[in-house]
Amino acid sequence: MQRLPEESQDMARSAARLRFPAGAETAFRSYYSRHSLVIVRIAILLTVVLYGLFAVLDLHAAPISRQSLWFIRFALVIPSLLGVLIFSFHPIFLRMVQPMMTLVVGISAAGILAMIGLESPGELGFHAYYAGLMLVIMAAHTVYRLRFVYATGSSILVLAGYDAIAIAHQNLLVSGDGFRVFLSNNFFFGSSLILGMAASYFLEVHVRSVYGSRIRLAGEREKSERLLRNILPREIAATLKEREGVIADHFDEASILFADVSDFTSLSANRNPREIVGLLDEIFSHFDDLAGRYGLEKIKTIGDCYMVAAGVPRWRHDHAHVLARLGLEMLAYVKRRGFGDVPRISLRVGIHSGPVVAGVIGRKKFIYDLWGDTVNVASRMEHHGSSGRVQITTSSYERIKDDFLCEPRGTVWVKGKGEMPVWHVLSEKTSHSAEGTAPSSLHGACP
C-alpha cells in the first residue's frame, strides 16, 4: 500500500484537528471567507424570504398575537438581516464573516424566541414554533458557512434560549405532561445539534483538505516552474507552457562566450570523481552568479566548458561589452581564488559576435540552445585561445574597441573560415555601468 508523503499526512492531521499552523491558519480563514461570501449572501436572503413567508402561518397558528409577531418579523428581524446583507458588500465584512453570521443566527433565533414569548398558551404557535429553531440550527451548520466552533457555539446558545423560554414562559417543568414535552423537545434539539455538528465538522474537514491540497499543488507548481526557469529563459518557459512544438527565433546580433579550464584532463587525472565534480561546481556556480548579475543567459556546460550568451533571448545593445566584462571577471576569479590542493587553475575564454538561431527542440529533457556560425566561431576562439586570456574575433573587437584595451594576437586558423585575425582583451578603459549590468571593477585586472 502506497504511503502518503509526510507533508500530506501533516496536512490531513491538521485538517482533522480543524487547525493549521499559525500562518497557514490565517491564510485558510481568509480563503474560507472569500469563497463563502456569495453563499453567505444567498443564505441571508433566503432567511429573509422564509421569515416573510412564515407570516402566512401566523394567521392560523397565532391569530391573537399575529400583529405583535409581524412587528417582530417585519420591523425588527428582517431589517436587521437586510442590514447584515448590505454590510456584506463592505470590504471589512470579509474579516468578520464568522462573527457576523453568528449574529445572523442570534437574530433569527431571538426573533423566534420572542414570538413564542408573545404568544398565548392557547395558540398553536405557542407550542409549535420551537421547530423554527431547528431550522436555525440546520442553517448554522450548513448554508451560513460557519466553521465548526462558531456553528456549535451558536447552536448551543439557541438551545439554551429555548430552554429558558420553555421554563420561564411556557412553564413546562410545572406539570408531568409539560416535563415530558420539555424532554421530548430537547431530545429533538439535541439530535439536531449532534447531526449539525457532524455536518459542519465534516464539511470543514473537507474544505480544509481541499485547501491543503491546493497549497501542496501550488507548492509543487512553484517548484516545477522554478526548475523550468532554471533550465529555460523565462520567456521561453512561458511559451513552452502555452504550446508544444519547435520554439525558434533568429537574432541578428548576439555574442557568445565559451570558457574552458586549461589542462583539465591532466588536472583531473589523479583525483576522484567527487573532487572533480565539486571543483567544477564551485567554479561554475560562481559563473552562474556572475551571469545572473549581468542579466546574461547561461546556455549550458559541456564537460569543463561553460557557455553563456548575451543578446538572447532578450536583445541588448551592449552584448559584446558585457561578455568581455564577464570574461575578465572569470579570469580574475580563478586567479585570486584558491582551490585547496588543486594547482593554480587557468581559463581559456573565447568570444564572437554575430547572428544566431536560438530555441528549444525535442519533447524530452528540454534545453535552450543556440545554433549557427557564430556559435562555432566562438567555440574555436576558446579552443585556439591562450591560457589566462579572453580572445575575441574582429566582429567583437569592432564593437568594444572604444571601451576596452585590446592587443592583436595575429591570426588563427579556424575550420571552415580559414585564417582569422584575433585580439586579446586586456582590461576595460573606464569603469562602465552598462544597461542591465553591474559596474565593472576590473580596470587593469589582466596583464
pLDDT band (50, 70, 90) for residue 197: very high
The cell for 212 is 491543503
Q: Is the pLDDT of residue 441 over 60?
A: no
The cell for 47 is 432567511
Q: DSSP E strands: which ranges in 329-442?
A: 347-360, 369-371, 389-393, 404-414, 418-428
Do residues 240 and 232 lie in contact, with contact meaning Cβ atoms separated by under 8 Å?
Answer: yes
Domains and CATH numbers, the chain: 6-224 (no CATH), 246-428 (3.30.70.1230)
pLDDT band (50, 70, 90) for residue 239: low
Task: Report the distance separating Cα 286 and Cα 276, nearest Å.
Answer: 16
Mean pLDDT over residues 199-218, rounded? 89
Residue 328 has a pLDDT of 95
Residue 245 has a pLDDT of 60
Q: Is the pLDDT of residue 9 over 50?
A: yes
Q: Which pLDDT tens digit goes with each residue over 41-96? A: 999 999 999 999 999 999 999 999 999 999 999 999 999 999 999 999 999 999 99
Q: Which pLDDT tens digit goes with each residue over 147-193? A: 999 999 999 999 999 999 999 888 888 888 889 999 999 999 999 99
Distances (CA, A) of 143 to 38, 47, 71, 139, 371: 11, 10, 26, 5, 62
Q: Is the pLDDT of residue 434 over 80?
A: no
Residue 342 has a pLDDT of 63
Residue 122 has a pLDDT of 87
pLDDT band (50, 70, 90) for residue 127: confident
Residue 34 has a pLDDT of 93
Mean pLDDT over residues 85-112, rounded? 96
Residue 21 has a pLDDT of 85
Higher confidence at residue 67 or residue 232? 67
Mean pLDDT over residues 259-283, rounded? 79
In this structure, are strands 347-360 and 389-393 parallel, antiparallel, or unpaired?
parallel
Do residues 212 and 11 lie in contact, with contact meaning Cβ atoms separated by under 8 Å?
Answer: yes
In the chain, what are the helix, strand and coil shares in percent, each to the nearest 5?
Answer: 60, 15, 25
What is the residue type of 319? H
Q: Which pLDDT tens digit goes with each residue over 329-354? A: 999 998 887 666 666 778 999 999 99
Please report, to the nearest 10 degrees, the dihedral formed by the alpha carbons of residues 407, 412, 416, 418 taken in order: 100
Q: Is the pLDDT of residue 35 over 90?
A: yes
| Coil/strand/helix, residue 398 | helix
- The dihedral built from the CA positions of residue 366, 372, 377 and 383, taken in this order, carries a sign that is positive
- DSSP 8-class letter at 345: P
Mean pLDDT over residues 227-246, rounded? 66
Higher confidence at residue 239 or residue 334? 334
Do residues 347 and 334 lie in contact, with contact meaning Cβ atoms separated by under 8 Å?
Answer: yes
Residue 229 has a pLDDT of 67
Task: Report the distance separating Cα 182 and Cα 127, nearest Å.
Answer: 11
Higher confidence at residue 182 or residue 2? 182
- The dihedral built from the CA positions of residue 90, 96, 98 and 101, taken in this order, carries a sign that is negative
pLDDT band (50, 70, 90) for residue 369: confident
Name the pTM for this structure: 0.61
Task: Report the distance separating Cα 410 and Cα 424, nearest Å.
Answer: 10
CB atoms within 10 A of CB 426: 17
Q: What is the mean pLDDT of the chain?
A: 86
